[in-house]
Amino acid sequence: MLNQKTDILIAGVGGQGTILTGRIIASLAISEGLDVKTAETHGMAQRGGSVITHVRIGEKVYSPLIPRGDGDVLLSFEKLEALRWLPYLSPQGTVIVNTQELDPLPVLTGEIEYSSEILEEIKSKTGRLIAADALSIDPVSKNARMVNTFLLGILASTMEFEKEKWLKTMEETIKAKLVEINKQAFEAGWQYAREAG
DSSP codes of every residue in 16-37: S-HHHHHHHHHHHHHHTT-EEE
Model confidence at 49: pLDDT above 80:
no
Cα–Cα distance between 173 and 52 in angstroms, integer? 19
The predicted structure's pLDDT at residue 169:
98
Cα–Cα distance between 26 and 24 in angstroms, integer? 6
Count of beta carbons in the 10 Å neighbourhood of residue 179: 15
Structural domain including 24 reads 5-196
Quick: pLDDT tens for 57-104. Answer: 999 999 999 999 999 999 999 888 899 899 999 999 999 999 987 665
- CATH number of the domain enclosing 82: 3.40.920.10
pLDDT band at 39 (very low <50, low <70, confident <90, very high): very high
The total number of structural domains that make up the chain = 1
Is the pTM above the cut of 0.85?
yes
The predicted structure's pLDDT at residue 44:
52
pLDDT band at 108 (very low <50, low <70, confident <90, very high): low
